[in-house]
A = this chain, B = another copy of it.
Amino acid sequence: MASASIDKPNADKPDTKYLGKPRKIIDGLEKIAGRARYVADVVVPGLLHLRPVLSTVAHAKIVSIDKSEAEKVPGVVAILTAADLVTRDRTITSRSDAILAKGKVLFVGQPVVAVVAETEAAAEDAAELVAIEYEELPVNSSVEAASAEGAHVTWPEGLPKGELEVISHAEVEEKEEVETGPITNHYKTSNFNRGDVDAGFAEADAIVETTFNIASQYQGYMETHGCVVEPDALKGGLTIYTTTQAQFGVRNKVADILKLKRSNVKVTAMTVGGGFGSKYGTIEPLAATVAYTINRPVKLILQRGEDLKTTTPAPPTQIKLKLGGKKDGSITALKADIVLDAGAFAFEFGQLTGLLLGSNYKYPALDIEVIEYITNKTEMGAYRAPGAYQSTFAVESSIDDLARKLNLDPVEFRMKNLSGTDDPMANGSPWPSLNIKECLKQMSEHPKWKNQSKEEGEGIGFAVSAWPCALSPSASTCRIDGDGTVKVVVGSTDISGVSSSLVLVAAEILGISPNEVELIQGNTDVGPYAPGSGGSQVTYSVSGAVAAAAEDVKIKLLELAADQLEARVEDIELLNGAAQVKGVPSSAIKIGKLAQIAESSRSAPGPLIGEGRSSIKQNAPGSVAHMVKVKVDKDTGHVKVLDYVAIQDVGYALNPMLVEGQIHGGVVQGIGMGIFEAHVYDSFGQLQSASFMDYALPRTVDVPNIEAIQLNMPSPEGPFGARGVGEPPITAGAAAIGNAIRDAVGVRVTEMPMRPPVVWKAINEQS
């Protein structure tokens, strides 16, 4: 596949040896050779196996639980219900709190009973013999049902609280809104308002008004959720091995649920087989509570069907969007009514979705309302750029339609209205450094846009978007070992290859080959604090800490070298793993040798270790323009993606190869979201897509040629000008495909995924 990296004209790109140069992922070999250590590989002495019994009904009272047959299975150690757990008195207020159902089940897939046995087979056999009697209650399988007059209320005694503490997905400040009035299934309403929307529509030359329906979608990671928990009764603590994006988040969540001191919970994040927003501690509380209750170590690895049912997919989202514009190319007003299906608990997505929907363009007037409803489904959660890909699908489809209605060029129309640096977001806050327009400009100059060639049934479309990117403080340590290896310790988890960029940071600063840098992911005990790997923040946050730690040890190294070489510190340079007097290669000493001196000589000031921390004041949004060419089979509605150009402002790509990997992955996942994937519940609240046979992930043959173009427009405050890159590439794909379909067959598809029946129906109803 083609790829390119374009520097911002006149950008002061630093002169580097390793940083900013493509380099292979550091743990690629161990992953493809099957040697990477995942949580399923973890064993500890006396390990037992936990199998959950999940609810088979969407809403019911639990009448009785009969363990008797299950207890007869040889090897069974414990069969536990909520009443047996140390958390028995805890109120369930969120999915991860719902360790085992108490009295009622609220969704299909909710854990009801935990079976612990000496072998996984025994646990599974026994789990199948647990007999649970339910008294079924009315099921709200959709927001329509949940919001209907007289709907059965899922939380009659009070709504659960959200789960946002652990995850910081984008730069949104959440304000507490107190709900009053009778309790219904209405969870929360968020509003954004600016200007006079009615006046705006009144002065518009054209208005488009469309309702978009976006399905729930599942993160589709290769490795299901799983963990091993080892209790330490003496210290009142736990050790947890898990697959997570946020080891400190899991630590805090489990500690808080079990009322343990957070420091007494030690979390080791193993190699992660994909997270995409899902792995923030959904099942660790269950395994931890069981282990803590029986004071024995347990392992819980979800089976795929369980994972599909009990974890946190993206929320079904309905967006009614009304957009007005004038012939001069100005947008006059935006009105959006968004309804989110939160599932049985609430992740609280609404505000973020509304904010993102109303921020990419300079709307003189806007009125956005987002309502979240409780239904009888699993809690909905984050999926890579949560809220952004849904809102972009609606906005970019509508922008395209409005341009067409106003007979304006879709690029020029956007260029005139797109937000840039300091323009207000939906909530009035100014955007930090934002380059959507530059991405679009690059796209518009791309030969595939300028010289479009389309055959019958083919169409070309594009969409733009942006993702604010989060940021959090972090820290790192860096030491030089006696064999010249540089060991960098971080507390972040690597879900996207970030560690393969961090090694380049240390290598560059210390003038050594990245092969000599070892990136060590420390657990929550020894790993310096780092935020969760989500919200596209980890590179932005942690690379600065690594740089600071490397600079700290560099100073110590130079001082020692100066002493050893009898030169001044300012005359020493680091080159190829050695410190040398500038311009005097004969007067040099290997850094490994310096480390040995530092570790052994009483005339040196001590071992070479440095510490660094990072706290960035301003986030650095990532912007994209995605252009796609599709072929639509009018007879079947089947859409084939033929070609893809993904342009992204990456700020400064620390390791362009891994950034390209992020773009490729985002594009493919965006195609999946756009035309394949749907997490479907029926009217009984039964999950219809509870296997990979039913949940359609894109296959290799569905992936087109992808041209990834990295725009290097340095962020003002990020380390080396870096920006977050993980989430932006998923934001615009579905919207671009929708616009390409519109180009190909002249109809607007408003449902996502745009599967053949949907496209076929649109073609046959609209044309």
Contacts and interface: CB of A to CB of B under 8 A. Distances in A.
Interface stretch (A99-107, A605-613, A674-682): A605-613
B615 A606 contact: yes
Interface stretch (A481-489, A566-574, A651-659, A755-763): A481-489
A2 interface: no
Interface in A27-74: 29-30, 33, 35, 41-45
Contacts of A44: 43
A130 B162 CA distance: 66
A29 B233 CA distance: 11
A520 B529 contact: no
B614 A611 contact: no
Contact of A526 (B45, B233, B526): B526
B477 A609 contact: yes
Given A477-B611, A599-B529, A609-B613, A234 B33 contact: yes
A9 to B, nearest CB: 30
Contacts of A614: 606
Contact of A473 (B234, B526, B529, B598): B598
Contacts of A545: 606
A404 interface: no
Contacts of A617: 602-603
A658 B657 CA distance: 54
Given A263-B483, A518-B263, A606-B615, A489 B30 contact: no
A429 to B, nearest CB: 14
Contacts of A473: 598-602, 604-607
A518 B265 CA distance: 12
A42 B47 CA distance: 12
A235 interface: yes
A525 interface: yes
B599 A606 contact: no
A611 B610 contact: yes
Contact of A609 (B252, B529, B618): B529
A420 interface: no
A490 to B, nearest CB: 10
A665 to B, nearest CB: 24
A522 B526 contact: yes
A338 to B, nearest CB: 29
Contacts of A609: 475, 477, 528-529, 611, 613
Nearest to A232: B35
B232 A482 contact: no
A487 B601 contact: no
Nearest to A478: B611
Contacts of A29: 234
A517 to B, nearest CB: 10
Interface in A234-287: 234-235, 252, 255, 261-263
A34 to B, nearest CB: 10
Given A261-B485, A489-B526, A607 B613 contact: yes
A102 B526 CA distance: 43
* Stoichiometry (number of copies): 2
A658 to B, nearest CB: 20
Contacts of A43: 43-45
Contacts of A33: 234
A263 B487 contact: yes
A757 B607 CA distance: 53
A616 interface: yes
Nearest to A37: B45
A607 B526 CA distance: 14
A759 B36 CA distance: 63
Given A475-B606, A482-B262, A520 B528 contact: no
A156 B420 CA distance: 83
B525 A35 contact: no
A479 interface: yes
A656 B70 CA distance: 56
A524 to B, nearest CB: 9
A44, A255, A471: residue with the most chain B Cβ atoms closer than 10 Å: A44
A472 interface: yes
A29 B483 CA distance: 39
A499 interface: no
Interface in A427-481: 471-475, 477, 479, 481
B615 A601 contact: yes
B528 A261 contact: no
Contacts of A598: 473, 615
B529 A479 contact: yes
Contacts of A477: 477, 528, 609, 611
A479 B475 contact: yes
9 contacts: A261-B483, A263-B481, A473-B601, A473-B605, A473-B607, A522-B526, A526-B526, A602-B615, A605-B615
Interface of A: 29-30, 33, 35, 41-45, 232-235, 252, 255, 261-263, 471-475, 477, 479, 481-483, 485, 487, 489, 518, 520, 522, 525-529, 545, 552, 598-607, 609-611, 613-618
Given A552-B611, A598-B615, A603-B615, 6 more contacts: A255-B483, A262-B485, A475-B606, A529-B609, A606-B615, A611-B611
